[in-house]
Amino acid sequence: MSKIKEFTVATSRPLPVILLADISGSMGSDGKINALNTAVQEMLSAFAEEDTGRAEIHVAIVTFGGSASLHIPLQPARQVRWTPMQANGGTPLGAALNLVTDLIEDREKVPSRAYRPSIVLVSDGMPTDEWREPLARLLSAERAKKAQRFALGIGADADHNVLQEFLADPEARVLQAHEAREIRKFFRWVTMSVTSRSRSLQPNQVANVPPPDLDDYGSF
């Protein structure tokens, strides 16, 4: 590694991206979990290819299906070794939200010099545990409340109200994927939004990337 590259890596600040992925049993139908795995893998590959300048994209994946767990610990995107997610169990969103808040507020894992995080929530159903208190905790935590948030409901059974409360912004839009292949378009939008921030002179500012119309996926 050249001295210039060493200096760039040393001075880059982390830009954390945390995916909250519903992998409950219902995600195993209609190709949803396969589409989610493909879309996430494409996003990770795009993040890994980004030049390290002011910001280095770090990624963590929290899954909730049966139980909530850290599927991919927070690390630079270029270091992620991908393991496909498997669908199983209920939808313990509350437990997953607590994991995310704990992660963001942990200054050893997300240092003070890190840029404003992004949190992406994807779900195809209704929570099967108590989620309101964990969500309130996330939205009031010192650093987690400042996160840029994205939400995608998959299929007709996704609880739109829960996703809207997660966004905590009446003007923010919950996107809805009616078919498995539309999941890919949503993640491409997330990818563009995050990479625009990472290339910006001010990565803490949210990039103005219009959301896609998932009903009109065309040849995207």
Which residues 6+ apart lie within 8 Å of 49 measured at CB?
none
Q: What is the 3-state secondary structure (H, E, C) of 13-81?
A: EEEEEEEEEECCHHHHCCCHHHHHHHHHHHHHHHHHCCCCCCEEEEEEEEEEECEEEEEEEEEEHHHCC
Q: Is 92 exposed, middle or buried (0-12, 13-18, 19+ CB in 10 A)?
A: buried
pLDDT of residue 181: 83
User: φ and ψ at 198, to 5 degrees?
Assistant: -65, -25
Residue 122 to residue 106: CA distance in whole angstroms: 23
Q: What value does the mean pLDDT of the chain take?
A: 90
Residue ranges per structural domain of the chain: 16-74+88-199
pLDDT at residue 211 is higher than 90:
no
Provide the terminal-to-terminal Cα distance of the chain, rounded to the nearest Å.
Answer: 37
Angle between helices 182-199 and 32-48 (to 10 degrees): 20
Pair of tokens at residue 14:
């982390």
Residue positions counted in the chain: 220
Residue 213 or 55, more confident: 55
pLDDT digits (tens, 9 = 90+) for 114-171: 999 999 999 999 999 999 999 999 999 999 999 999 999 999 899 999 999 999 998 8
Pair of tokens at residue 149:
């948030």
What Å distances lie between residue 188 and 100, 149, 214, CA to CA? 22, 15, 11
Query: Which residue has tokens 């009616």?
Result: 178
Architecture of domain 16-74+88-199: 3-Layer(aba) Sandwich (3.40)
pLDDT at residue 7 is higher than 50:
no
Chain centroid offset of residue 85 CA:
15
Compute the C-alpha angle 120/29/37, nearest 5°. Answer: 40
pLDDT of residue 214: 56
Neighbouring-strand partners of residue 122: 21, 152
Q: Is 138 exposed, middle or buried (0-12, 13-18, 19+ CB in 10 A)?
A: buried
pLDDT digits (tens, 9 = 90+) for 25-55: 999 999 999 999 999 999 999 999 998 788 9
Query: Which residue has tokens 């994209």?
Result: 57
